[in-house]
Amino acid sequence: MQLVVARIGRAHGIKGEVTVEVRTDEPEVRLGPGAVLATEPAETGPLTIESGRVHSGRLLLRFEGVRDRTGAEALRNTLLIAEVDPDELPEDPEEFYDHQLMDLDVVLADGTEVGRITEITHLPSQDLFIVERPDGSEVMIPFVEEIVGEIDLEEQRVVITPPPGLIDESEAVVATSREEEGDESTPSGDGNR
């Protein structure tokens, strides 16, 4: 099975190094020297990692055969794809690969069915489960500890405790508006009072 493990960013320096946006929890395993990675688009690869280092908090990689800035810049926005055994599990029991979570049933703590995970979106601040509900609509569930309480791979289900309004909009708590607080006559103007 193939997993996207990084995306190549801009060239760094003049000797063929590139910055990478890491998309794996195990960069030391997936992006180490000697790793051979497929690419998207396919015609830019496969690429073999020659060396890697961290500079100012960013991972820099150099690939075999890429010796200058022009060659490095030509790789920009290329996805790096690792071949992974589908039965392989992350070392940390609290981590999961996307393929393990796809198609799991999502239920509330009381067993009420919410839907099925059809997609996982990775955002800079958090990951989101895209859940298809029985009626065909979708709901986004933040993959955070406060909401996702249990992931049971054997039972093929995820138990969530959503805040009011996340699943059912009719339960949303609406903040009180200024007009209801009696502050409806606040004038706008030059600010002189």
Please state, in angstroms and rounded to a whole number, the distance separating the CA atoms of residues 66 and 31: 16
Residue 177 has pLDDT above 70, yes or no: no
Q: What percent of the chain is helix, strand and coil (3-state, nearest 5)?
A: 10, 40, 50
For the chain, percent of residues with pLDDT exceeding 70: 82
Please answer whether residues 60 and 18 qualify as being in contact, where contact means their C-beta atoms are separated by less than 8 angstroms.
yes
193: pLDDT confidence band, cut at 50, 70 and 90? very low
Other beta carbons within 10 Å of 41:
9
Q: Between residues 96 and 92, which one has the greater pLDDT? A: 96
171: pLDDT confidence band, cut at 50, 70 and 90? low
Q: Which residues, 6 or more positions from 141, have their beta carbon under 8 angstroms from its beta carbon?
A: 106, 114, 128, 129, 131, 147, 148, 160, 162, 166
Mean pLDDT score across all residues of the chain: 82
Taking CA 56 as the corner, what is the angle to CA 35 and CA 75, rounded to the nearest 5 degrees?
45
Please state, in angstroms and rounded to a whole number, the distance separating the CA atoms of residues 102 and 79: 21
DSSP state of 163: P
Residue 87 has pLDDT above 70, yes or no: no
Residue 124 has pLDDT above 80, yes or no: no
pTM of the model: 0.55
Please answer whether residues 127 and 140 qualify as being in contact, where contact means their C-beta atoms are separated by less than 8 angstroms.
no
Please state, in angstroms and rounded to a whole number, the distance separating the CA atoms of residues 36 and 144: 33
Please state, in angstroms and rounded to a whole number, the distance separating the CA atoms of residues 169 and 2: 37
Residue 44 CA from chain centroid, whole number: 24
